[in-house]
Chains A and B, each alone.
Chain A
Amino acid sequence: MSGDTMLQKMLDSSYYSEDDALGTLRKKSMPRDQVVCKALIEMLIKEYPDISVDKTVSGLCSAGILPNIKHNSDTGKPRILITYYASTESERCEIEDYSNLIYVGPLKETGLAVVELFWYGPWMNVEPEEMNRLLFIRAEQFKPHILLIINGWLPELYEDKAWRFRLFTLFTIRTVLKVKIVPLLTDHAFEAFEESDMLAPFCDLLLTHEPPEVYQGYTRFFDRHRTVMEPVSVSLHASPERLRDIQILFIGGIEGYNNERKLGLEALKRAGLGVFVPGGRVHADGKKHLPNNEYISLLQRAKIVVNWSKSWNGTYSHAKVRIFEATLSGAMLLCEQCPPVDFYLDPLQEYIPFTGVEDLVQKAEYYLKNEGERLRIATNGHRRSMAEYSASVAWKARLKLLLDRSYFVESEAVESLTQYASRHEVAAGDCLLEYIQYRFPIEVYQQLVSIHSQIQKATLNPATWVMRASVAINAGKETEAKEALHEAIAITPDNSELALSYAMILVQAGDSEQAISVLEKLLEYRPDDANIRTHLGEILYLYGRHIEAEQQMRIALALEPTNSSALKIASKTEFSIDVSELTGFFAGNSSCLKRPLCLLLRYKFVPNSVLCQRGHEQLILTNSFRAYNIGTLTEYYLDSLFEQKGSCPEQSLLELVERIRPDILMVSSYEPDISGRHPSFSVLQAIRILYRIPLVAFWHDTCGTITRERYAPYINDSFDLHVLIDSDQFALHFPTAEVIRLMPPADPHLFYPQKEHDIEVSFVGSIAGHRSIRADYIAYLKQRNIPMVIAGGQVGNSILSWEEYASIIKRSKISLNFSESVDGERQVKARVLEALCSGSLLLESENPETSRFFEPMREYVPCTSPEDMHDKIRYYLANESERNAIAMNGYYKATACYNGNIFWIKILNRLKELGHLRDIK
């Protein structure tokens, strides 16, 4: 502690800021805080009248913590809570201004109801579900008769659907608080009514300005809809006889509307009729936004107000608010004729209709010249509007309608909640229920919980989403179909039918890239599904990614050579896929055959390793077997298990064989005389004969004269099959043995391409012992400042985990490999496939073993000396596109032709050819 004491600091210093405090209350207060706030303020007013709370209350109201409680004293009048959405705070200002003139302002002016507004939108700094809860709390505190949703339910206007009120929220407000729900659907037409049908079951009525023909046939809830006009502020009212200095006025948007407005206004101007176009109410299209006082003044100064009746896209006509503004402000209305306008005003008596540009110009000219007739029409229109369409008349009738009528049916709403279940609904429900739990009787809470759990259940049911997708597809709504299928796949990511349907829709919608991504994701769950690979190959081909397409088709045919779709597509394209070598194993009806049960005897750890590092045999044999679901694999570890089982390990092996009855007995790196841990040769032979199962040997390191001498007693027909992993040396020296030469497959879960290659060059492996030649190369490269990562080695203390080992290879632009083994012989290291499968460029000391399987300079790069290696590193680091091309060629070849699946299929095929595994798939 330095400086002042704690008490001094507490008494003398302060970092308190009113702005911080109110800002935090605005952003972070919980519903409980709002409840507490109301209770404390009420307590202070009642119990401590000498404490002035007015300013504090107003601050809390502006922060949204406290509702405006003074309105609650207005008894006897209907209370209406009106919600408004605004995407930004500045938009909120514009809408607020507009609402003062139309709809809300006029209602307040009439004094017929107590009105409170609930503004919401992303600017609130709360999560959407919290906004839902705040609405409920406001409704609970204000106790309105009607919740009037003025905007915010316009899907075509508001992209962020997260900011809709959730249906569960509306349902809860309707059923728990008994507040009527009434949305006003503005600028809403045809298909939009289908969309708002989602909302309709939760509403008592739905109001719209559109004529019935616009929603008839589109909504399933026709009866619930009412066409209403837009009441305007009394401040607009003016006598037709007042002095007017504007000849013709048009206020509003010009762009769009089939260009009719633009053409009409230009024609009026050309005719020299002095049309005034000052701007509009909405700040868009570069128009001037007129404040209310200016707007009112202009209307009251106009002799003629022009109005077009078509909707923005020109598909239908409706009675715009402008017809009421014009007539109530005493101007003569010159309006595009249509039935909705004629419904409110008599043509030629109360307004002058026009049809087309020529008619517009002629009539405007006529009525400007004939002031008496203009005044007569204006007076008639004004009189009719004042009598029937003023705000007081309109709102009186509307309030009666809203209070008296209701089409709400609770059971229907509950059913709809399940039908429209979504994650947003669940989240909003969770949030609301937390609040209700502490504030309402337990039975109310429990009933809501029960409904909420139904929603949750439906959300987690892929069938819900598939059904929605199906409906959307039938309606031609691709976006909705995609969204629904996306949700379904999120629930069951391994459902191939769903994913394939989704991918096809994406392709139809022209989003092949996303379709490819969907199928690639699916392959993570079903790597051996030939059907998925076939579809993926086809989409890749259509998308122009031919090399990848060929790769997928190769794998598909390797997995299932008889797959007719794959064969058909492969034959249609220019792929040169030879499937003949793969067909043997799959020939015949395999569906009734079982997969093999294999018993593998292998080292668990690297022999002689100090730190018990798991050996490469696990990656090459076990992981590839399991990754491709070849069959069932039981392992018997030559090191650890034998040690643990004490003096009679062979007995335990025999017991195991007796117990599991394997189809194949496999032994990896067999050397009984050296280690003393391996089962004796005679025991293996006994198992082979007694249980009539084939015996397979895996040889990983076959180079060198001493090695061959050591293994000579076993490289014969004592084993049914010898699998040679690293070289052909045993095949050359032991011609009577049954051998198969295979590349060591890379573990697909460890070695795969990644986007970032932040390591220039790496070598991961040992440089000790007979591998000292590697040290010479590396020393040479280091002296010339090649940026290299050198790590690992499976012997000694500096070993890496397999994840670390794979990570270095995957991050490397170039992976080095050295093929030299003992006695100057060469072998294929596991590193070859690991580097290639990781999308890294393989740069290897020249090796005839590798070039048997991969094409030099096309699929990997060989080098002959340290100098050559150095030059090639420099070259391929500088030439990225060439490096990537070779790396990708190598990758495709390695993954298509030498993956773990093909490795095991070839072994099983050979055993079948030799007369074994008759009932094995």
Chain B
Amino acid sequence: MSTSGKPRILFLNHAPTPEHHQDMLELFEMSFMGSLLETGQVEYKSFWFKAWLSVQGEFQDQQLLREAISYRPDIICVYAWWYHTDQQAAGMVSIVTLYLLRKLLGVRIVAYLFDQYCEHFYTTDILLALCDMAFIHEHRKYYQDFTQFPERHIKTIATVSPALFHGNPLSNRSIPISFVGGVGGYSNGERSQGLEQLRLNKVPVVTPGGRGTGQKKISNSEYAWYFRNSRISLCWTKHISGHWYQAKGRIFEATLAGSMLLCEGCEEVDEYFRPFIDYIPFHGEQDLVIKAKHYLQNNDERLKVAVSGNKVAFDRYRADVVWGHDATKDARLKLLFRG
């Protein structure tokens, strides 16, 4: 623990290329690390393991160990896509380094695993054996048969930057309906087909871009601005594999921003929001078009859902609550968190 009494975290991140590094820095500004740091609950440092420097052999592992000895964190938070073939291992922190950090410095090691396919849980077990726990977004049923450490996986949600996303549902909103995020690559092109159907039916949907390849790249401010200024925010919920549903970070981004969430219905979302009360579920393109039209034409109904969703999200899923400290009790942060 630091002199301030706050836990000290060393974020250990991995980037395969300089471009990816830059992209991840931006992503972390608005979610994950960024959201936690904004809450002021911890002291932190981050260490980037740069795969493109791996030709230097053990150099980065030595640097990391030196950094950890010097900083003495309570927790090392490993953010990783962890496939660990021999080839890829060359660009990642060595498992021996993690072992020495845990064993010699007594630092707790927590992994943060995103967007895993079932079979990845085999290889993430290599990492998990060295960790105290891992946070993931997937439901237990998708990994329990693939990992030998099911109990070490703890389900959590994506946390988002209060400064960027928190909004008032009653504020004026210039965009009728929007979808912010990747369009390609999802099962059967359902995102692009859904958007196409909306346009064919004269629903003025806005798709400004996102982080996906082949998309217009938008800044974090722009990304959040669209949520804060859309009456309705769309969300599809399938995992990129198309095999299961997920509670996407977008459902929290939309509701915290005060937009009405019109979302592909599934159990995973219903775990956090009540359908037809906190958000409106849709099933298929036709249903999407009908509901989009209905809630655009009936603003009172839309507002009712948006307000309810925003309240639930603010009470339960805002970053400070999820990470551990209710910032609204802190007068200095209250304004920021109210959006």
Contacts and interface: CB of A to CB of B under 8 A. Distances in A.
B7 A7 contact: yes
A16 B131 contact: yes
Interface in A432-453: 434, 438-439
A9 B108 CA distance: 11
A7 B130 contact: no
B58 A39 contact: yes
Interface stretch (A21-29, A298-306, A719-727, A755-763): A21-29
A13 B132 contact: yes
B138 interface: no
Interface string B147-163: 00101101111000000
Given A7-B41, A30-B86, A48-B69, A40 B97 contact: yes
B214 interface: no
B65 A28 contact: no
Contacts of B126: 24, 28
A410 interface: no
Given A5-B323, A10-B108, A11-B75, A40 B129 contact: no
Contacts of B125: 24
Given A28-B95, A40-B97, A33 B132 contact: no
B55 interface: yes
A23 B108 contact: no
B189 interface: no
Interface in B84-100: 84, 86-87, 89-90, 94-97, 99-100
Nearest to B55: A438
Interface string A585-621: 0000000000000000000000000000000000000
A491 interface: no
Contact of A6 (B100, B102, B104, B323): B323
B264 to A, nearest CB: 21
| Chain A CB within 10 Å, residue with most, of B131, B132, B151 | B132
A144 to B, nearest CB: 23
Contacts of A674: none
Contact of B57 (A1, A43, A438): A438
Contacts of A438: 55, 57, 90
Contacts of A65: 96
A797 B149 CA distance: 48
B270 to A, nearest CB: 15
A439 B94 CA distance: 16
B29 interface: no
A36 B96 contact: yes
Contact of B129 (A5, A21, A60): A21
A90 interface: no
A36 B97 contact: yes
Interface string A450-493: 00000000000000000000000000000000000000000000
A686 B41 CA distance: 93
B322 interface: yes
A8 interface: yes
B285 interface: no
Nearest to B62: A43
Interface residues of A, number: 45
B134 to A, nearest CB: 9
Chain B interface: which size bin? 35 or more
A213 to B, nearest CB: 49
A53 B104 contact: yes
A142 B125 CA distance: 31
B53 to A, nearest CB: 13
Interface in B318-339: 321-325
Contact of B61 (A18, A36, A53): A36
A32 interface: yes
A434 B86 contact: yes
A14 interface: yes
A111 to B, nearest CB: 33
A324 B319 CA distance: 78
Interface string B50-66: 00000101100110011
A7 B66 CA distance: 25
Interface string B100-136: 1011100011100000000000000110011111010
B185 to A, nearest CB: 27
A6 B324 contact: yes
A7 B65 CA distance: 23
A36 B129 contact: no
A879 interface: no
Contacts, number: 134
A33 B322 contact: no
Contacts of A17: 129
B74 interface: yes
| Chain A CB within 10 Å, residue with most, of B96, B102, B151 | B96
B78 to A, nearest CB: 12
| Chain A CB within 10 Å, residue with most, of B61, B94, B109 | B94
Nearest to A14: B132
B42 interface: yes
Nearest to A15: B152
A654 interface: no
A124 interface: no
A16 B41 CA distance: 25
A1 B155 contact: yes
Given A7-B41, A7-B323, A9-B154, A24 B75 contact: no
B94 A6 contact: no
Contacts of B135: 6
A558 B140 CA distance: 62
Given A5-B324, A9-B133, A15-B132, A33 B96 contact: yes
Nearest to B61: A36
A33 B102 CA distance: 16
Interface in A552-600: none
A20 interface: yes
A24 B125 CA distance: 9
Contact of B58 (A24, A40, A48, A56): A40
Nearest to A31: B86
A56 B97 CA distance: 12
B110 to A, nearest CB: 5
A36 B80 CA distance: 19
Contact of B102 (A16, A30, A39): A16
Nearest to B98: A21
B96 A10 contact: no
A29 B95 contact: yes
A627 interface: no
Contact of A14 (B55, B77, B95, B108): B108
B130 A43 contact: no
A40 B100 contact: yes
Contact of B89 (A20, A32, A40, A53): A32
A628 B57 CA distance: 59
B93 to A, nearest CB: 9
A11 B7 contact: yes
A857 interface: no
Contact of A15 (B61, B100, B149): B149
B239 to A, nearest CB: 19
Given A25-B99, A65-B96, A13 B62 contact: no
A10 B133 contact: yes
A34 B62 CA distance: 13
A15 B133 contact: yes
A25 B125 CA distance: 12
Q: Which 7 residue pairs spanning A and B have beta carbons closest together?
A: A7-B324, A5-B324, A24-B129, A39-B58, A36-B94, A14-B132, A37-B96
23 contacts: A1-B155, A5-B321, A5-B322, A5-B325, A7-B7, A7-B41, A7-B324, A8-B324, A9-B133, A9-B154, A16-B108, A18-B103, A21-B99, A21-B103, A28-B84, A29-B95, A33-B89, A35-B57, A36-B57, A36-B61, A43-B66, A44-B100, A59-B103
Interface of A: 1, 5-11, 13-18, 20-25, 28-37, 39-40, 43-44, 47-48, 51, 53, 56, 59-60, 65, 434, 438-439
Given A25-B96, A28-B84, A33-B94, 11 more contacts: A6-B156, A6-B323, A13-B133, A15-B151, A21-B103, A24-B95, A28-B95, A33-B96, A37-B96, A39-B62, A56-B104
